[in-house]
Amino acid sequence: RCWWSFEQSDVDGSFTISGMATGEYRVSAYSFGDYWMDEFYNDTRDWEEATPVSVTEGDETPDINFELALGGAISGVVETESGDPIEGIGVEACPFDTEGPCFYAWTGPDGSYSIIPVLPGTYRVDSGWEGNWLVEYYSEQTDWELADPVIVEADVNTSGIDFTLE
């Protein structure tokens, strides 16, 4: 059985989720629209690695705390060679030289995208996997090895990561 509740934290960061039945739950903290990285309890971004939280109906389950990491963002525009925006195409940012999580976004009607939040680090960013487009790596490269690194810093939007797809 799955139970969803979205509760906003107070100014001091505390939160209470009430009305839960007895059982085990995965609890997560999300911050919509800013640079804070999502996290499951206990200090993981992976659903499978999340520590289940045992809840007894009517009792308080204390000390389910989070320390969210501050991420950054990558943004730009995806368009055709003639300058027309491409809507609904994915943009992917994966660690440049290491394994780790990739981050994704899809373009809007004006071809713009914003991948937010992204862990600070260095990334290969690409687009063009859908449809008949040729895959392109930033900046204007078709070869994975020639991709330019995109550096993401905490609390910074790395903008201008644009693509012109063929």
- Tokens in use for 39? 């996290």
Long-range residue pairs from 25-34, CB within 8 A, at least 24 positions apart, any chain:
25/52, 25/53, 25/55, 26/50, 26/52, 26/53, 27/53, 27/64, 29/66, 29/68, 31/68, 31/117, 33/116, 34/116, 34/117
Cα 49–50–52 angle (5° rounding)?
A: 130
- The pLDDT, as a whole number, for residue 32 is 72
Instruction: Please give the backbone phi and psi of residue 48, each rounded to the nearest 5 degrees, phi first.
Output: -65, -30
Separation of alpha carbons 119 and 104, rounded Å = 12
- Tokens in use for 34? 């800013």
Separation of alpha carbons 34 and 25, rounded Å = 26
- The pLDDT, as a whole number, for residue 124 is 97
Strands 72-80 and 163-165: parallel
Q: What is the 3-state secondary structure (H, E, C) of 122-148?
A: EEEEEECCCCCCCCEECCCECCHHHCC
- The pLDDT, as a whole number, for residue 2 is 58
pLDDT tens over the chain, length 166 residues: 456 667 788 888 888 888 888 999 999 888 776 888 889 999 988 889 999 999 999 899 999 999 988 999 999 999 999 999 999 999 999 999 988 889 999 999 999 999 999 999 999 999 998 889 999 999 999 999 999 999 999 999 999 999 999 9
With tokens 């260095």, the residue in question is 122
Cβ atoms of 137 and 127 within 8 Å: the answer is no
> Which of 162, 152, 165, 31 lies closest to 94, judged by CA?
152
Question: What's the whole-model pTM score?
Answer: 0.81
What is the sign of the dihedral through the CA atoms of 139, 143, 146 and 149? positive
